[in-house]
Amino acid sequence: MLGTHWIAEGTGCQGSRLEAGGCQSCLLELCRRLGMTAVSEAQVHEQDAAGTPSSIAGILLIAESHISVHIFPSDRVVHVDVFSCGAFDLPTARAVVQEHFAPTRWSEQCVDRGGSDEAGSVTKRR
């Protein structure tokens, strides 16, 4: 297996954290608490519509691959991806996102990417 790709979505999120600073804070906290190694600064971009952010996207490159957070403030939705060639603790990743955005509804999946039997194979779990 090449690595684990955790894909999560929270809806009904707390509005006060649905901003660029909340995005950056979540990226850095995920990296720190999962024991990963940042190889760049966290990059956060706001797409504005009528003077308010319509979406906020952030990415942090890590030695193990990447962490990304995409926020839609008006919809109170957050999407998070963690892809790592190293093992990481899924309950910790889940806790960080829930602490940052307090979603009222939650969905996630975990995908094992790559495989020894076939390059690029994908196996979903959970």
Per-residue pLDDT of 78-126, as tens digits, reads 999 999 999 999 999 999 999 999 999 999 999 998 865 554 444 555 5
In whole angstroms, what is the distance from residue 13 CA to residue 10 CA? 7
6-24 pLDDT tens trace: 999 999 998 788 999 999 9
Report CA torsion sign: 39, 92, 88, 108: negative
Between the two ends of the chain, the Cα-to-Cα distance in Å is 17
CA 30 to chain centre: 8
CATH architecture of the domain 3-125 equals 4-Layer Sandwich (3.60)
Decide the pairing of beta strands 52-62 and 43-49: antiparallel
